[in-house]
Structure 1
Amino acid sequence: MLIYHPVFDANHCVFRTLLLLEEQNYCEIDIELFRLMDFYVLFPSLLKSIKPFPNQLRKYKKSIQLIKEPYEDIKNPNRIFLELRRIQSIAFHHLLSKQLIDMKSFDIGKIKRTKNDLPDSLLVSMEQVEYKKTEWFTLISSELKKIEFYGVNGLKKRTGLMEYRYDEVIKND
């Protein structure tokens, strides 16, 4: 039996990427942080597993606890996060080819929306996304980027989805 899930849909990833980028006001974001943001848009209930939860975001903690568990059982989020990377790369390169992502930013490991216009129909679709009005989406799209990402106190460690032990070595070089 084949079951559809947006995690394996490159077109859905393009849509999510544009949705998240529209919230960034043309600012650059570290591409690894952006990949994490996209993952949590797909699986918002996994926000509950960020340990320790950042004090700066405690006002969101209660609303995160109210997120219902998904139908699918995610036994290995790390594996899904790694598999999602391939789909995200396809989506990013598609958006680069359409000149909707800035190439210079992408070359230095950042992602930034260009000022090229999106079709009106796409903008309407993006405005109609129900979860865009939720607190968890605001947390993901606006607040996560304010938290330290690298190192022993960063989001990489707190989420458990990425290697963080070598961050300090890389940052100091």
Structure 2
Amino acid sequence: MLLYNKALDANHTLLRMTALLAAWKAVTVEGEALRLFDFLIANPAHIHKLSVPRGKFAAKNDFKSYKNRYQSFEPKSLFNAMKETHCVVIERFVDLGILQPHNNHSEYKVQLENIPEELKKLAESSENSISSQAIHFIIENLISIPITGSDGLKKITNLMEYKYDVN
């Protein structure tokens, strides 16, 4: 049996990240945040599993309905499998001038005006297969959270090692 997972599809990743960047309208982004947020957009059911205090982000419970018995995977393994695709897509964004390395190689300056019009149109379309609900949740709740730290994105998503990070 042939299985397709959009999380590992470079074209779908490019579309998801474009949709996120277009909605986010950030001046700069950290590469790790972009990767974590893309994972959540590709796998919205994982939003329900965010490790946050009870009552914080009550809207995360809305993502229980995204659970799919055919999409059973170990989240960290899938996130690690997505790394190569994430790197390729980020490099493509750099080639297009959408992302420009900034200060260090983990932070990028965002140039939304360099997104090709057709790609932007497709990414913002309501008829694509991207969860706009997940993008809105991320923008409303997660973009202000630092990557590292005791309450950082790495810890609450439980997708990346965080214990040895320096704040």
Q: Please indicate, yes or no, whether the TM-score normalized by the shorter chain is above 0.5.
A: yes
Per the alignment, residue 63 of structure 2 pairs with 64
Once the two structures are TM-superposed, the CA of residue 127 in structure 1 deviates from its matched residue by 2.2
Alpha-carbon spacing, 1:132–1:41, altered in 2? closer, same or farther (3 Å): closer
Percent identity at matched positions?
24
In 2: Cα distance, 1:143 partner to 1:111 partner: 21
Question: Partner residue of 1:37?
Answer: 37
Contact 2:14 2:89 (8 Å CA) reproduced: yes
Given that 1:99 and 1:116 are in contact with CA atoms closer than 8 Å, whether structure 2 keeps it comes out as no
Task: Give distance in 2, aligned partners of 1:21 and 1:53.
Answer: 28
In 1, are the aligned partners of 2:18 and 2:120 still within 8 Å (CA)?
Answer: no
Residues 1:137 and 1:116: Cα distance change in structure 2 (over 3 Å)? closer
2:22 corresponds in structure 1 to: 22
Whole-angstrom distance in 2 between the partners of 1:12 and 1:18:
10
Q: Give yes or no for the alignment of 1:122 onto 2:119.
A: yes
Aligned residues: 165
1:1-173 → structure 2 map (5 Å cutoff): 1-53=1-53, 56-58=56-58, 60-65=59-64, 67-104=65-102, 107-130=104-127, 131=130, 133-134=132-133, 136-167=134-165, 170-171=166-167
- Give structure 1 regions of 4+ aligned residues with deviation exceeding 4 angstroms: 53-56, 130-133
Q: Deviations over 1:103-145 (max 9, x none)?
A: 336x4412342143433332321221355542x3211234211
Structure 1 residues 33 and 133: CA distance shift in structure 2, 3 A: closer
Change (3 A) 1:92 1:86: same
Provide the secondary structure at the position in 1 that maps to 2:102: helix
Shift, 1:3, TM fit = 2.1
Could you say what secondary structure the match of 2:135 adopts? Answer: helix
In structure 2, relative to structure 1, the CA distance for the partners of 1:104 and 1:78 (3 Å cut) is same
Structure in which a larger fraction of residues adopt helix:
1
Give yes or no for contact 2:44–2:131 (8 Å, CA) kept in 1: no
Cα distance change, pair 128–115 in 1 and its aligned pair in 2 (3 A)? closer
Structure 2: gaps (5+ residues): none
Q: CA deviation at 1:95?
A: 1.4
Unmatched runs of 5 consecutive residues or more in structure 1: none
| CA distance in 2: counterparts of 1:5 and 1:79, whole angstroms | 13
More deviation, 146-155/7-16: 146-155
| Contact kept in structure 1, 2:48 and 2:61, CA below 8 Å | no
Distance 1:15 1:9 in 2: 10
* Higher alpha-carbon deviation: 76-85 or 21-30: 21-30
Letter in 2 for 1:120: E
Give TM-score, length-normalised by structure 2: 0.84
Assess, with a 3 A threshold, how the Cα gap between structure 1 residues 90 and 14 changes in structure 2: closer, same or farther: same
